[in-house]
A and B are shown apart, each in its own frame.
Chain A
Amino acid sequence: SQELEQSPQSLIVQEGKNLTINCTSSKTLYGLYWYKQKYGEGLIFLMMLQKGGEEKSHEKITAKLDEKKQQSSLHITASQPSHAGIYLCGADRVSGNDMRFGAGTRLTVKP
């Protein structure tokens, strides 16, 4: 099994609806990252969370970190077609540059 489990694997929502993507780690989190990948392209950094209870926002995207549960959630408010893509969570390992990623959540937003 993977170190980082994302759910759901895929999500189809109607434009304007809210949605949540979860990322759960089997190991202690030292830093949790969220990236977005447009189909066929590289990853774009969204935000990084380090402290338990931390919450950050980027436009209509909000991410929270629950350190005790070793879990992070990504919430999109009033989804738009531009939010479509694959969302990946990543986590630092203790050794520094050795980052691990979840398998990703594929989001489709229907106009």
Chain B
Amino acid sequence: NAGVTQTPKFQVLKTGQSMTLQCAQDMNHEYMSWYRQDPGMGLRLIHYSVGAGITDQGEVPNGYNVSRSTTEDFPLRLLSAAPSQTSVYFCASRRANSYEQYFGPGTRLTVT
């Protein structure tokens, strides 16, 4: 199993550009989540999904969209990038009946 994969690893955007961060898992996990990690703030939940077709907002959803058309994929879309979205983004997944989350390696995003 590849586990949780994220692409790209690094990305630089200009203010106002849009892009999609990709996340995929091959463990057939029902739950998937997106977090951002900023210095001194820990991880903050952006959006999460409890299954295909079901998504919900987390702590900091503004400026981000998600969709879950398949169990495997959970892309995160930045609609109009802002410098405040400069961060490291982590995708995670877990089984519905398990508390152990598996994290991807992260995407480091810089918005200039």
- Chain B associates with chain A: yes
- A residues contacting B by CB (< 8 A) are 2, 4, 6, 31, 33, 35, 40-45, 48, 88, 90, 92, 96-104
A48 and B102 alpha carbons, distance in the complex (Å)? 14
CB-CB under 8 A from A101, the residues of chain B are 35, 42-44
Q: Which residue of A lies closest to B102 (CB)?
A: A45
Total count of chain B residues near the partner, CB < 8 A: 25
Partner of A88, one of B42, B104, B106: B42
Central interface residue in A4, A92, A99, A102, by most chain B CB within 10 Å: A99
* Interchain nearest-CB distance for A56 vs B (Å): 12
Partner of A102, one of B42, B59, B90, B102: B42
Q: Are B100 and A99 in contact (CB under 8 A)?
A: no
Give B25-50 interface residues, CB cut-off 8 Å to A.
31, 33, 35, 40-45, 48, 50
Q: Are A98 and B103 in contact (CB under 8 A)?
A: no
